[in-house]
Amino acid sequence: MLRLSATELSCIRGSRSVFENINLELSSGEALALVGPNGSGKSSLLRLVAGLLRPSAGRIDLAGGAPENTLAEQAHYLGHLDALKPSLTVAENLSFWVRYLGGDVATLPGSMMALGLGGLAGLPAAYLSAGQGGGSRSRA
């Protein structure tokens, strides 16, 4: 079981303090909803947790993971600026990333079904909503 914790986490972007002294703990299977207005630090917190940014203060720990790997190597972050090609189908986009990351493309249909995306496999990625992965290019 994985356990993610952040202790007295603070973030400065540019010269502006975005947030200070955030504490949280999450275990495998738990979820955290981040809500707040634009600029309140939601994306910055996610980027810190994913290991894409360094905190200005505090620490982030991942217990139960691979100690030889960094947090960024063990975390996955999909922000609003996605890595999908709008003209390729959902399946083509996912197939590219599965192959790129060294996975088995044969598992893709089952994985898509498990996530409720099976019916979207043949759609161009441009038609996905932001929540499905299409970001600001969404047309549906």
Q: Are both 28 and 63 inside the same structural domain? A: yes
Q: Are both 61 and 94 inside the same structural domain? A: no
* Per-residue pLDDT at 117: 84
Paired tokens of 117: 């995306």
Query: What is the pairing mode between strands 3-13 and 16-27?
Result: antiparallel
* Per-residue pLDDT at 125: 87
Query: What range does the domain containing 70 cover?
Result: 3-74
Do the domain assignments include residue 33? Answer: yes
Q: Are both 25 and 50 inside the same structural domain? A: yes
* Per-residue pLDDT at 123: 92
Average pLDDT across each block of 10 residues of the chain; the chain has 140 residues. List them in order: 95 93 94 88 90 93 91 78 82 91 91 88 84 47
* Per-residue pLDDT at 135: 47
Q: Which residues contact 36 (CB under 8 A, 6 or more apart)?
A: 42
| pTM of the predicted model as reported, rounded to 2 decimal places | 0.57
Q: 84: exposed, middle or buried (C-beta count within 10 Å: 0-12, 13-18, 19+)?
A: buried
